[in-house]
A and B are shown apart, each in its own frame.
Chain A
Amino acid sequence: MLWPVELGALTQLYAATDSSALQYKGGYLRPWARVGEPHEGTKDEAEQKKLWDYCHETLKPWLA
């Protein structure tokens, strides 16, 4: 089942504009315009930091 584009924009419009979305600060949202749970593996803070550091090292010449 593929949904229409109007529904597809809903979750990011909610994240971008709604004051009640702020309660989910730093979180992951899912269709349609509600809080969700991503893959458990995305939450490993050590892995997040490793990727964050890798990307910043890679982007260093452009961030300077």
Chain B
Amino acid sequence: MAPFSTILRQAYPPAAKWSVDNISDLSGKVFIVTGGNAGIGKETCKQLLLKNAKVYLAARSESKAQAALDELEKETGKKAIFHKLDLGDLDATKKSAQEFLECVTPSPYTSRFSNQLLYCRKESKLNVLIANAGVMIPPVDQLTTQKFDLQFGTNVLGHLLFIRLLYPLLVSTTTSTDPSRVVWVASSMQYYFNPPVKYDWITDTEVRKKQNPWFLYAQSKFATVQLAYALQRELGDKDGVVVFSLDPGNIKSDLQRHLQSFIVRAVVRLLSIMTLPVFNLSSIDPFHAMAR
């Protein structure tokens, strides 16, 4: 647990000195924003589009992302490109990365036909990967397709796989004056984690099932910060790729709307009053599943 002064400063940050007005023109630069269909991910896509970036909005379902895609176009006059990605399924995550990469050199024959263009982006570069999607406090019994804890599996393992598979493209795009970047969104919840990492919380164990989902969330975000440091040291320093992890702040999100239980909603409100962070719930939202 971090000192109370750190917690307080996190909840009530000083006024911003930097604004979106500082963003220079991003013409010709390629971004992927995971979970770009909602919350701070969607806002990130919007600001990038306003500066003429090419933005791939990565989310699970194109039909569910359609409202966000339409809204972004209306607000910016530019189109984000949907890219299918399900971080809760490692097979699907691999397929998603491959589809992005394979399009670097599509065969002229297949790329001529419009059906192929759905997944064939003909992309040759990737400047920035913003790993923004996240699952927060789903019911503890929920697991990924490969039976990992849903929060760790999605927030950490899914993202790490996606980053590692796209990494060669980041490396080939990087230059000394304009290095490629990996921006991995963590959370102030990492302050509340009691290290070290509990490896038996990651797989489907009896110990994991007894944990409070908030602790599992905190571990996933603590691990995100650890892996961002490791990615910089193990690979980024050698290849000229820059890695960040970050806390976006305690942000009003769709969370409260999605919480089905009044008690959970009341607890979340109480926690937020106590300056505990409540974060963006983006594309991968287990509460949608609960509502169905």
How many chain A residues sit at the interface, stated as a range, is 35 or more
- CB of B147 to closest CB in A, whole Å: 12
Q: Taking the complex as formed, is B243 at the interface, i.e. its CB lies under 8 A from any CB of chain A?
A: yes
Is the pair B165, A16 in contact by a Cβ cutoff of 8 Å? no
**Mask of A12-36 contacts with B, CB within 8 angstroms, 1/0:** 1111111001101111111111101
Q: Which of chain A's residues have a CB closer than 8 A to the CB of B246?
A: 11-12, 15, 28-30, 36
Interface residues of A in 46-62 (CB under 8 A from B): 47-52, 54-55, 58-59, 62
Is the pair B252, A59 in contact by a Cβ cutoff of 8 Å? no
Is the pair B91, A18 in contact by a Cβ cutoff of 8 Å? no
User: Assuming the A-B contacts A8-B43, A13-B44, A62-B94, are A3 and B23 also in contact, with contact meaning beta carbons closer than 8 angstroms in the complex?
Assistant: no
CB<8 Å pairs between A and B, sample of 8:
A9-B44, A10-B18, A12-B130, A16-B130, A25-B242, A28-B186, A36-B246, A38-B247
- A24→B244 CA distance, assembly (Å): 8
**Mask of B37-65 contacts with A, CB within 8 angstroms, 1/0:** 00110111011100100000000000000
Q: Which of chain A's residues have a CB closer than 8 A to the CB of B253?
A: 2, 5, 8
- A42→B227 CA distance, assembly (Å): 9
Is the pair B252, A2 in contact by a Cβ cutoff of 8 Å? yes
Hey, which bits of chain A sit against chain B, CB under 8 A? Answer: 1-18, 21-22, 24-34, 36-39, 41-45, 47-52, 54-55, 58-59, 62-63
- A49→B232 CA distance, assembly (Å): 12
- CB of B169 to closest CB in A, whole Å: 15
Is the pair B225, A28 in contact by a Cβ cutoff of 8 Å? yes
Chain-A contact segment, one of B69-77, B117-125, B192-200, B208-216: B192-200
- CB of A22 to closest CB in B, whole Å: 6
Is the pair B186, A38 in contact by a Cβ cutoff of 8 Å? yes
- CB of B100 to closest CB in A, whole Å: 15
**Mask of B219-258 contacts with A, CB within 8 angstroms, 1/0:** 0001101111111111011000011111111111100000
- CB of B267 to closest CB in A, whole Å: 15
User: Assuming the A-B contacts A2-B272, A4-B251, are A33 and B245 also in contact, with contact meaning beta carbons closer than 8 angstroms in the complex?
Assistant: no
A6's closest neighbor in chain B, by CB? Answer: B43
Is the pair A3, B24 in contact by a Cβ cutoff of 8 Å? no
- A42→B39 CA distance, assembly (Å): 27
Please pick, from B19, B157, B197, the residue contacting A47 in the complex, using a CB distance under 8 A. B197
Q: Which of chain B's residues have a CB closer than 8 A to the CB of A1?
A: 11-12, 250, 272, 275
- CB of B97 to closest CB in A, whole Å: 9
Q: Which of chain A's residues have a CB closer than 8 A to the CB of B244?
A: 15, 21, 24-29
User: A9-B47, A13-B48, A48-B226 known; 6 other A-B pairs, CB under 8 Å?
Assistant: A8-B253, A9-B40, A18-B18, A34-B17, A48-B227, A55-B160
